[in-house]
Amino acid sequence: MNLRKHKLLQTWRWYGPIDPVTLQDVKQAGATGIVSALHHIPHGEIWPLADIEDRKAIIEASGLHWAVVESVPVHEAIKTRRSDADKYIENYKITLRNLAQCGIKTVCYNFMPVLDWTRTQLDLTMADGSKALYFNWLELAVFDLFILKREGADADYTEDIKSRAKTRFATMDTDELNELKVNVLMGIPNEKEIELEALRASIDEYKTIGREGLKNNLAYFLNKIAAVCEETGINMTIHPDDPPYAILGLPRIVSTKDDLLDILKRVDRPFNGICFCTGSLGAGASNNLSEIFDAVKERVYFLHLRNVTKDEAGNFYEADHLGGDVNMYEIMKAVVAENELREEPIPFRPDHGHQMLDDLNKVTNPGYSAIGRLRGLAELRGLELGISGNY
């Protein structure tokens, strides 16, 4: 076997010039590639070539390079396949061409209905005093039953959870309830949160679409952009659902090994790939991450490496990168072996990180403070080096 012995591509998510973490900070952390997106452009609109070139120039002026786009958001009209879906798909195709013209060929996206990642608390205090993101079913039930007041929500929770949620709601003041609402609806930093009425309307729309309908809509979208991706050399990498199970009555289709294999089978073309996120998949109690990676590894074009600690009730918090339930050593061994077979290194980033040290006194994007990710990148880099011996 011809082992190429090149390292994984170490990247860092950067939200652009308004990000509290600067490109100089990124350089000091040791990453060489940037994962970025044009968050100022509304979902569904074309990313102008000039805007992409400007962002790329800023990144390259710092001595880094724009390695991955995360993400080009998929408009809700596409996910629900409304009558205007094809208009937004055409916009998406133009954006892909513009990115390719600038040499950016890896695009991460998700197909989660309405919301992006969902957490109920953004500042869970850990034993060492750092702060982590947290998902708690009881708090979600409070939001679902008493803030959102979703029709049919009762059927999704046990009697015990409903009883405890009612008691918990009765003890919460206005500020606490508003904080919970903001946390659940946080979505993507720098983007406007969705309003409750719009969320209720979307939930009703997805009731009609269902899980199978959403799968079909994803395949429709991928087939529509396939020719552009193949012509330009772009690889699409779908991000798993976060968390990887149904919440708020919304369907999930990117949560398990079977889900990922189904996506690859429905549109069995090399451009159609996976973003392997150990944190999102790791939150699923039945997910065996080593098995999942082995099943889809040839189509993994991007890696998010983070860890979670779960309890028996399905609650989880984001743990240290080398702590938690995910066996990062086993995952990194498999990743290193796959990377050595590639012509180009697989990009990875330390996904999320604890708010810690001086960052505790700063306003940061949830999960994306500098020092916690710096620690994670250092740990992951050391783990890769120890496994590969590639100095």
Is position 146 within any domain? no
Instruction: Indicate which residue of 92, 134, 206, 239 is catalytic.
Output: 239
Rounded distance between C-alpha atoms, residue 60 and residue 45, angstroms: 25
| Phi/psi-derived region of residue 172, left when phi > 0, alpha when psi is between -120 and 50, beta in every other case | beta
Q: Exposed (0-12), middle (13-18) or buried (19+): which is 31, by Cβ within 10 Å?
A: buried
Predicted local confidence at residue 1, as pLDDT = 40
Domain of residue 274 covers 9-117+208-309+319-388
What is the mean pLDDT of the segment spanning 131-138? 98
Rounded distance between C-alpha atoms, residue 70 and residue 106, angstroms: 9
To the query of whether residue 239 is one of the catalytic residues in this protein, the response is: yes
Say if CB 69 and CB 108 are below 8 A apart: yes
Instruction: Indicate which residue of 320, 351, 354, 359 is catalytic.
Output: 351
Predicted local confidence at residue 112, as pLDDT = 96
Is position 85 within any domain? yes
Is position 130 within any domain? no
Predicted local confidence at residue 188, as pLDDT = 53
**Residue 131 pLDDT greater than 90, yes or no:** yes
| Segment (H or E) for 377 | helix 370-388
Please state the pTM of the whole predicted model.
Answer: 0.95
Q: What CA–CA distances, in Å, run from 330 to 62, 89, 293, 337?
A: 34, 39, 11, 11
Instruction: Indicate which residue of 277, 301, 354, 359 is catalytic.
Output: 277
Three-class SS of 213-243: HHHHHHHHHHHHHHHHHHHHCCEEEECCCCC
Predicted local confidence at residue 388, as pLDDT = 92
Rounded distance between C-alpha atoms, residue 132 and residue 319, angstroms: 7
Say which CATH number the domain at 279 has.
Answer: 3.20.20.150
Task: Name the residue with higher pLDDT: 86 or 194.
Answer: 86
What is the phi/psi pair of residue 242, to 5°?
-140, 100
To the query of whether residue 352 is one of the catalytic residues in this protein, the response is: yes
Structural domains in the chain (count) = 1
Confidence bin at 192 (pLDDT 50/70/90): low
What is the phi/psi pair of residue 210, to 5°?
70, 180
To the query of whether residue 354 is one of the catalytic residues in this protein, the response is: no
What is the phi/psi pair of residue 60, to 5°?
-70, -30
Give residue-wise pLDDT tens across range 233-254.
999 999 999 999 999 999 999 9
Instruction: Indicate which residue of 19, 352, 354, 359 is catalytic.
Output: 352
Instruction: Indicate which residue of 75, 304, 321, 354 is catalytic.
Output: 304
Rounded distance between C-alpha atoms, residue 39 and residue 190, angstroms: 7
To the query of whether residue 65 is one of the catalytic residues in this protein, the response is: no
To the query of whether residue 277 is one of the catalytic residues in this protein, the response is: yes
Say if CB 184 and CB 194 are below 8 A apart: no
Give residue-wise pLDDT tens across range 257-301.
999 999 999 999 999 999 999 999 999 999 999 999 999 999 999
Is position 166 within any domain? no
To the query of whether residue 15 is one of the catalytic residues in this protein, the response is: no
Is position 133 within any domain? no
Is position 132 within any domain? no
Give residue-wise pLDDT tens across range 67-105.
999 999 999 999 999 999 999 999 999 999 999 999 999
Dihedral of CA atoms 316, 318, 322, 323 in degrees, nearest 10, equals: -40
Is position 127 within any domain? no
Is position 328 within any domain? yes
Instruction: Indicate which residue of 109, 157, 301, 368 is catalytic.
Output: 368
Predicted local confidence at residue 2, as pLDDT = 46
Q: In this structure, is the dihedral angle defined by the CA atoms of residues 71, 300, 56 and 24, taken in order, positive or negative?
A: positive
Q: What CA–CA distances, in Å, run from 268 to 32, 223, 294?
A: 32, 10, 17
The residues that bridge with 272 in the sheet, in sequence order, are 236
Average pLDDT, the chain: 95
Predicted local confidence at residue 390, as pLDDT = 78
